[in-house]
Amino acid sequence: MTLEFETVPCLSDNYAYLVHDPATGATAAVDVPEAGPILEALKRRGWTLTDVLLTHHHWDHVDGLSDLLEAAPARVVGAKADEHRLPPLNLAVREGDRVMIGDEAGEVIDVSGHTVGHIAFHFPDSKLAFTADSLMALGCGRVFEGTMPQMWKSLSKLAALPEDTVICSGHEYTAANAKFALSIDPGNARLISRAQAVDAARAKGEPTVPSVLSEELATNPFLRAGDPQLQAALGMTGADPAEVFAEIRNRKDRF
């Protein structure tokens, strides 16, 4: 039996996630921007919180933790490299470690770039990856603390996951990301179709995350830095994909 999950909107444009193992009753929250919506979702589902998985230290991913733990005590898991600036952890993990949620093992992946010490959690049996502010729907996080080559390496790790992996990212930025993507990849038919679907979903107030990795590989410019068509559109034919990625990220930062 695979994990069940729920997307939990928080703050103005953040997402947390609940992950539930029906076999054991174990339930994890992935990131805690604020406690209220997570507690409401737990109550509605009838789930008991057992774990909290933190991806990185930014306030809009951890600030609700103390209130959540006061109402629903749980084991807190986060990156060893980020331990000095995360809330107190019960389990500090590194790339290659496994985190059990009930009977299913999640793989820890170092996706530094947005921050140094950012991690993602991949549950291969359930085809779920919680990527927060590394790989995002039609985008990626700004490179605040790491380097461009480091971020490209991190995205390349995620791009190598099975294409049917569901990508659970941390923000509702997809409409803005789509506008930028179209500005550098206007002839991409799948991107055009996806951008239209994103606009329709947002017009109805619906989330545009999670997404599927196959869709990101076809439409997300930050994963396509090695694609000859996109390189040509940028005037960078034959360039190192890491350099192309840096150009795309810099253009997005100015967009």
14 φ/ψ angles, rounded to the nearest 5 degrees = -95, 160
Q: Same domain, yes or no, for 185 and 104? A: no
Query: CB of 134 within 8 A of CB of 140?
Result: yes
Is 118 one of the annotated active-site residues of the chain? no
**Residue-level pLDDT, tens digit, the chain, 255 residues:** 799 999 999 999 999 999 999 999 999 999 999 999 999 999 999 999 999 999 999 999 999 999 999 999 999 999 999 999 999 999 999 999 999 999 999 999 999 999 999 999 999 999 999 999 999 999 999 999 999 999 999 999 999 999 999 999 999 999 999 999 999 999 999 999 999 999 999 999 999 999 999 999 999 999 999 999 999 999 999 999 999 999 999 999 999
Q: Which of 144, 146, 136 lies closest to 213, judged by CA?
A: 136
Whether 98 contacts 105, CB under 8 Å:
yes
pLDDT digits (tens, 9 = 90+) for 3-25: 999 999 999 999 999 999 999 99
227 is catalytic: no
Q: Which helix (H) or strand (E) holds 44?
A: helix 35-45
pLDDT of residue 81: 96
Q: Which of 114, 118, 122, 185 is catalytic?
A: 114
Q: Which of 20, 56, 57, 122 is catalytic?
A: 56
In this structure, are 139 and 188 located in the same domain?
no
* pLDDT attached to residue 70: 98
Tell me, what's the pLDDT at 69?
98
Shared domain check, 151 and 119: yes
Mark whether 12 and 125 lie in a shared domain: yes
Among 60, 65, 71, CA closest to 11:
60
Given 31, 60, 82, 110, which residue is catalytic?
Answer: 60
Task: Please state the residue numbers annotated as binding site for Zn(2+).
Answer: 56, 58, 60-61, 114, 133, 171
Q: Which of 20, 21, 31, 61 is catalytic?
A: 61
Instruction: Provide the number of structural domains found in the chain.
Output: 2
The three-state (H, E, C) secondary structure of 151-219, written as one string? HHHHHHHHHCCCCCCEEEECECCHHHHHHHHHHHCCCCHHHHHHHHHHHHHHHCCCCCCCEEHHHHHHH
Q: Using CA atoms, how far apart are residues 166 and 72, in angstroms rounded to an integer? A: 27
pLDDT score of 199: 97
Instruction: Give the domain CATH number at 86.
Output: 3.60.15.10
Question: Do 202 and 149 fall into the same domain?
Answer: no
Are 200 and 222 found together in one domain?
yes
Strand duo 166-169 + 128-132: pairing: parallel
**120, containing H or E segment:** strand 119-123
Please check whether residues 132 and 218 belong to one and the same domain.
no
Burial 181-193 (b: 16+ CB within 10 A, else e): bbebbeebeebbe
Regarding whether 222 and 157 lie in a shared domain, the answer is no
Known catalytic residue at 20:
no
Q: Which member of 57, 110, 171, 185 is catalytic? A: 171
57 is catalytic: no
Range of the domain at 182: 175-206+214-254
Q: Residue 135 burial by CB count (10 A; 0-12/13-18/19+): exposed, middle or buried?
A: buried
Beta strand 4-10 with 139-140: parallel, antiparallel or unpaired?
unpaired
> What integer pLDDT is reported at residue 195 of this predicted model?
98
Cβ contacts of residue 252 below 8 Å, gap of 6+? 139, 180
For residue 219, the model assigns a pLDDT of 98
Question: In the chain, what are the helix, strand and coil shares in percent, each to the nearest 5?
Answer: 35, 25, 40
Q: Is 84 a catalytic residue?
A: no
